[in-house]
Amino acid sequence: MNWTLFSAFVGATMLLIVIPGPNVMLVISRSMRFGVKAGLITVAGTAFALAQQLTITALGLASAMAVLSDGFELIRWIGVAYLIFLGIQAWREPPVPPAANGAVTPPNTKRIFLQAVFVAWTNPKLLAFYAAFFPQFIDPALPAGPQLWAMCGAFLVIAIVFDSCYAVVGGRLLAAIKSNRAQRIRNRITGGILIAAGLGLALVRRN
């Protein structure tokens, strides 16, 4: 392992992941709306999908899947519509009585998890990004396989840690929001975040 290149990869990955994308926005909105537990379940769902995507990348299938780009484009637009739907749903969520501690009853664990997996998979261009990003940090003098698997593992761990931090922060914000006005503002923010994520995904252009 070329530790200089690997360290550079870790640093670049941290910078990339700290910038909120659709997955992070979903985590924040879920934790702000339903609490830390729901946020962490969402992290588990996005991490599950990410692990699958990284495995595909490591096995060298990203280029083969690019042949199906038209099908992936349809999937992307389904993801756009779904994120916007979740955003509108959050935006219209009515305030709950103070006795309920400002929390909305969350969907069941399985539903939150599957929603996260679905959203994570509706940005299939990430496969092409991984395929272009990872090779920049591979030392050609060393076997590529072990390097690639090590980078995939590091990427997954970093994503889980950062996303979990977002979930905890979002959940702490939920605990401080109790008044009807504050809840409406929270719902507008979480709904706006999801709608922005959907619109951001819609703006991605095919190369």
Is the pTM of the predicted complex or chain greater than 0.75? no
pLDDT at 193: 72
Specify whether the CB–CB gap between 46 and 120 falls below 8 A.
yes
pLDDT at 99: 47
Average pLDDT per block of 10 residues along the chain, 207 residues long: 86 76 80 85 92 84 52 65 79 64 65 88 69 74 83 91 87 67 74 76 59
pLDDT at 101: 47
Specify whether the CB–CB gap between 148 and 58 falls below 8 A.
yes
Q: Tokens 């990348």 label which residue?
A: 57
Collect all residues with Cβ–Cβ distance below 8 Å to 174 and sequence separation of at least 6: 31, 32, 33, 34, 35, 36, 102, 103, 186
pLDDT at 207: 45
pLDDT at 43: 93
Report d(CA 120, CA 21) in Å as an integer. 10
The pair phi, psi for residue 102, each rounded to 5°, is 75, 10
String of DSSP letters for 102-163: T-PPPPPHHHHHHHHHHHHHT-THHHHHHHHHGGGG--TTS-HHHHHHHHHHHHHHHHHHHH
Specify whether the CB–CB gap between 25 and 157 falls below 8 A.
no
Tokens coding 37: 């537990």
